[in-house]
Structure 1
Amino acid sequence: MTDAVKTLDALLQSSAAGAQLFPPTSRYYGLDSTSLTSADGRTIKYLRRRFVPQASRFATIKEHVVADNDRLDNLSARYIGDPELYWRLCDANNAIRPDELIETIGRSLRITLPEGVPAPKGAR
């Protein structure tokens, strides 16, 4: 078992009922954990699956054309205000693999409001 898996397992095992495992800025915030019992009787705790929201749930406020040397953390810091929120760019642009967003120079990326937040009146 890798250190990361051990750490996650310890976190899941020690979580109190109803306690949040991740901060509000995490894509995993609000996900519940659950468990299963293996054939040998071990209890295995894990996070429930996170479903990527449909792109239609995001209001576009701007577009960014990918340039040479763009990085998702820098784009996230510039447009969202936090480099660790790069996953919001992924969700808004239907990217499963984050690096695919910046692989093609000239690609247009949607910069959006958080999921479900409507665009202000007069915005496109």
Structure 2
Amino acid sequence: MLYRGSRYAGTEVIEPVNSQGEHPRVLALRRLEPSPGVIEHVVLEGERLDHLAHRFYDDPKKYWLLLDANPGELNPFELLKPGRRIQVPRNRVVSP
């Protein structure tokens, strides 16, 4: 069950066939639109996504905004290599 205001709220529920022939209900891939109002941040030694989310959004649970804005990197630890430039989007989510 998805709560109203969830970033997954508009995502389609699909039932693909898995290797056992079952049809589990799962969410389809979520389409990521380009992030508006992006700034660039150079990662410093020891920074974490929750700390950056707290700094930029005043909410450590919004770390996923940083992940969404940097879709070329699937591993969050690679995203946080010191010296790397990452995109920091404007806070596009209002907390429920």
Q: Are residues 108 and 88 of structure 1, via their aligned partners in 2, closer, same or farther at CA, if it must alter by over 3 Å?
A: same
Higher strand content, 1 or 2: 1
Structure 2 equivalent of residue 34 of structure 1:
14
The RMSD of aligned alpha carbons is 2.9
- Give the secondary structure class of the aligned counterpart of 1:44: coil
Structure 2 equivalent of residue 107 of structure 1:
84
Gaps of 5+ in 2: none
Decide which structure has the larger Cα Rg and report it.
Answer: 1
Q: Give CA deviations for 1:62-107 in whole Å, capped at 9, x if unaligned.
A: 332211110011001110222121111112123322222102x112
Identity of aligned residues (%): 33
Q: Does the Cα contact within 8 Å between 1:71 and 1:102 map onto a contact in 2?
A: yes
Q: Does the Cα contact within 8 Å between 1:64 and 1:108 map onto a contact in 2?
A: yes
Q: Residue type of the partner of 2:13?
A: S
Gaps of 5+ in 1: 1-14, 16-20, 116-124
Q: Does the Cα contact within 8 Å between 1:66 and 1:102 map onto a contact in 2?
A: yes
Query: Equivalents in 2 of 1:36, 1:67: separation in Å?
Result: 41
Higher helix content, 1 or 2: 1
Q: How many residue pairs were aligned? A: 91
Kindly indicate whether structure 1 or structure 2 has the higher relative contact order, using CA contacts under 8 Å at least 6 residues apart: 2
Structure 2 equivalent of residue 53 of structure 1:
33
Query: Equivalents in 1 of 2:79, 2:21: separation in Å?
Result: 43
Structure 2 equivalent of residue 120 of structure 1:
none
